[in-house]
Each structure stands twice: as C-alpha cells, then as structure tokens.
C-alpha cells in the first residue's frame, strides 16, 4: 500500500514558514500585498477567490478583491490592471480564470506586469522558467515540487512522465522536473502506446482532467504518482485523474484527491506574492 502524500499537512507547514517571513518583512516596513480580480458570477471562481482571501489573512498578506460585473468590458479590465501595476501596496496581481466570453485571456495576462505576475503566466516569466532562471513559478507545478521535496523524493536520474501538456500545469511541470535532473517524457491525447510509457515512469504526474483515467496497469510497481486532476464522477464524488483505490496498491507514494496537490496551489500563490514583495517591494 502506497504512502499517502498529505498536501494539507505540507501546505500548513509551508504557510507557517510564509507567515514568519511576512512578519520579518513587516518589521522592515514592507507589507506583501495581493490583488485578486474576478469578472462575472462563476460559482467555482467565487469560491477560489474567497479561499485566496482567507489564505492571505492567515499568513498576514494584505489583499484586495476586485469583483467586476459580467458586463465589464475588456478595456475596463485592462485599465484596472494598469492601475494595479502602478499601485505600490500591491506586489502580486491575479486575474481569476475563466473570464466571460469576449475576453482575450492572453491579452489580459500580458497586461499584468511580469514583476507582479504571481501566476507566472506572462510570456516573460514562462521564458525564465524555460531557461531555469525564474522568479515565479506556476502555483500547481511548484506545489508538486514542494511535495516531492517534503517527502525526500529525489528527481535526479529518475524517469519522469508528465501526462498532460497544458501551459498551466503540464509544460511547466516538465521544465521543473528537468531542472532537477529528471529524464522527462510528456504524454498527451495523441501519444501512441500510452500505457507502455506511463508504466515505465519512476515519477508519474497526471494532469488531464479525466476522472480515474490512469489504472493500475499503467503504473510501475513502486512508482511515485502525483494526481493533479479534480473531477466529479457519476455519483458526484470528487475524484482525481488516477484510479486511487487500485493504483495505491501498486505505487510507493500517491497523492489523494482531495487533499493532495490542491492545498498546495494557493499556498504557492502566497509564496509567489511574498517573493514579489521581497524582490520588488522597495521599487
């Protein structure tokens, strides 16, 4: 039976460290600040924004929320971003996705100052990740690396397979594993003989958004399995992209859903905000 990688526990430990660093910064006269912008009434987005606000309060980060109505124009959103780029109390800016129809997310992302881009979606920061010289990391892949580090799971020399190639998780995850000297393969919907590749992985990271897709026959005995997925099954139960009950019998380590990677995502957002304040707080 696999050892469970407890994301809640690790997130709490990291948040305690962040809170201590925030106190140190406040003693130097810098209060880290995060602005979260939401457009429209998407229920899931509203929950995420509320959770981000609570997380900021927990570690002592100053936060501002901008809830814009559905009928907000793209020009109005871009103008707000311009103002936040100039605002000295704000070190991090996050625009909650998805945006309503009619918005160009790429244009919105590129309008955020790369020095306040705590989601690490701006092409400037994506490029820095590519060359391994970054200030900010996308929150979910960074959370995965923090979990591996906490459980003393070395990446060096391991065969690492990332299932999924999104700009938010799959691609940056592959770059971070590569930076730690893993030998990385990226698989996706067009990959042939998928199971033969995943079954060879020492570390398997799954981020495809398909409930319980990865079965035991796709996993190597003793592998580390990181499940980034979050889906609802037919019974309405929250499940990951990995069939947990059968894969946990074969893996050495596995993340549960919920309670695995999820708690780390907002925690790494806090870490990015702290970093932005420490790097650019006096500008």
- Does residue 152 share a domain with residue 90? no
Residues serving a catalytic function are 52, 96, 119
Whether cis (ω within 30° of 0) applies to the bond prior to 279 is no
**DSSP code string of 83-119:** HHHH-TT--EEEEPSPPPTT--HHHHHHHS-TTSBTT
CATH for 96: 3.40.50.10860
Asked if residue 104 belongs to a domain, the reply is yes
Domain housing 45: 29-113
- Does residue 155 share a domain with residue 73? no
Asked if residue 1 belongs to a domain, the reply is no
Asked if residue 76 belongs to a domain, the reply is yes
For 28-45, the pLDDT digits (tens) are 999 999 999 999 998 989
CATH for 182: 3.40.50.720
Half-sphere exposure in the Cβ direction for 34 (13 Å, CA): 29
CA distances from 280 to 44, 130, 138, 236 (A): 32, 22, 19, 44
- Would you state the pLDDT for residue 283? 60
Residue 145 has pLDDT above 80, yes or no: yes
- Does residue 193 share a domain with residue 109? no
Confidence of residue 280 (pLDDT cuts 50, 70, 90): confident
Asked if residue 147 belongs to a domain, the reply is yes
The domain boundary, picked from 64, 96, 113, lies at: 113
Give the chain's domain count.
2
Asked if residue 197 belongs to a domain, the reply is yes
- Does residue 211 share a domain with residue 146? yes
- Does residue 148 share a domain with residue 108? no
Confidence of residue 132 (pLDDT cuts 50, 70, 90): very high
Query: What does residue 133 show for φ and ψ, rounded to 5 degrees?
Result: -130, 75
Q: How far is CA 151 from the centre of its chain?
A: 18
Return the percentage of the chain with pLDDT > 90, whole number.
96
**pTM of this structure:** 0.95
Asked if residue 238 belongs to a domain, the reply is yes
- Does residue 152 share a domain with residue 93? no
- Would you state the pLDDT for residue 44? 87
Residue 17 has pLDDT above 80, yes or no: yes
Asked if residue 4 belongs to a domain, the reply is no
- Would you state the pLDDT for residue 203? 99
Asked if residue 12 belongs to a domain, the reply is no
Of 165, 153, 172, the closest CA to residue 272 belongs to 172
Detail the DSSP E strand segments found in 53-190: 62-68, 92-95, 159-163, 183-187
- Would you state the pLDDT for residue 144? 98
Q: Pairing between strand 238-239 and 231-232?
A: antiparallel
DSSP symbol at 60: T
Supply the mean pLDDT for the chain: 96
Residue 67 has pLDDT above 70, yes or no: yes
Residue 282 has pLDDT above 70, yes or no: no
- Does residue 243 share a domain with residue 208? yes
């Amino acid at each position: 039976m696999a050892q469970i990688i407890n994301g809640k526990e690790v997130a709490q430990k990291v948040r305690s460290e962040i809170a201590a660093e925030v106190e140190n910064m406040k003693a130097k006269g810098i209060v880290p600040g995060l602005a979260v912008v939401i457009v429209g009434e998407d229920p899931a987005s509203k929950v995420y924004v509320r959770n981000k606000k609570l997380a900021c309060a927990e570690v002592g980060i100053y936060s501002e929320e901008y809830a814009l109505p559905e009928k907000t124009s793209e020009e109005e959103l871009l103008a707000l971003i311009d103002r936040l780029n100039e605002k000295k109390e704000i070190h991090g800016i996050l625009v909650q996705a998805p945006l309503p129809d009619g918005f160009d997310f790429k244009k919105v992302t590129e309008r955020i100052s790369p020095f306040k881009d705590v989601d690490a979606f701006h092409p400037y920061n994506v490029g820095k990740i590519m060359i391994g010289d970054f200030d900010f990391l996308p929150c979910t892949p960074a959370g995965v690396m923090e979990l591996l580090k906490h459980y003393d799971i070395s990446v060096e020399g391991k065969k690492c397979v990332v299932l999924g190639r999104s700009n938010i998780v799959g691609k940056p995850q592959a770059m971070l594993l590569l930076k730690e000297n893993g030998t990385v393969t990226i698989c996706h919907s067009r990959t042939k003989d998928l199971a033969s590749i995943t079954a060879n992985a020492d570390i398997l990271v799954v981020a495809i958004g398909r409930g319980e897709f990865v079965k035991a026959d796709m996993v190597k005995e003793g592998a580390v399995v990181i499940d980034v997925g979050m889906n609802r099954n037919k019974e309405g139960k929250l499940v990951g992209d990995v069939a947990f009950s059968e894969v946990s019998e074969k893996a050495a380590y596995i993340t549960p859903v919920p309670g695995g990677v999820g708690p780390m995502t907002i925690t790494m957002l806090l870490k990015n905000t702290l970093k932005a304040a420490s790097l650019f707080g006096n500008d």
